[in-house]
Amino acid sequence: MEYEILRECSVTKARASLIHLPHHSAESPMFMPVGTQATVKGLLPSQLERDANAQIVLANTYHLALRPTGEVVRELGGIHEFMRWKRGVLTDSGGFQMVSLLQFAQITEDGVRFQSP
């Protein structure tokens, strides 16, 4: 990943930039729709691209690990193939779920293991 600043406001320090990702370069600031389980409900990937000009879709690691599972996503060719999405994908770490679903988690030095609620 590479981050390129295109312009910067001398007063507020706000920036316009490009984020170069392996699958796509995304302009920032941007609208980033949430596709919790690797799909934005109610819109096809082509509509996200054409009508919403979405540059990156946000997915949730915890929910993908539960369903369909990381193994299924890998077998289908990775997150981009699974989503049928050519542009950028951002996945969160699952840290919020680690705190909010603590009763379903085992935390060790190696990481967090969740039991499906």
Phi/psi for 30 (5° steps) reads -150, 160
Q: Tens of pLDDT along 93-102? A: 777 877 787 7
Average pLDDT, the chain: 91
From first to last of the 117 residues of the chain, give the pLDDT tens digit.
999 999 999 999 999 999 999 989 999 999 999 998 999 999 999 999 999 999 999 999 888 988 999 999 999 999 999 999 999 999 987 778 777 877 877 888 988 777 766
Tens-digit pLDDT profile for residues 36-59: 899 999 999 999 999 999 999 999
Contact 39, 59 (CB under 8 A): no
Between the CA of residue 62 and those of 20, 36, 71, 94, 106, what are the distances in Å?
Answer: 25, 9, 13, 5, 14
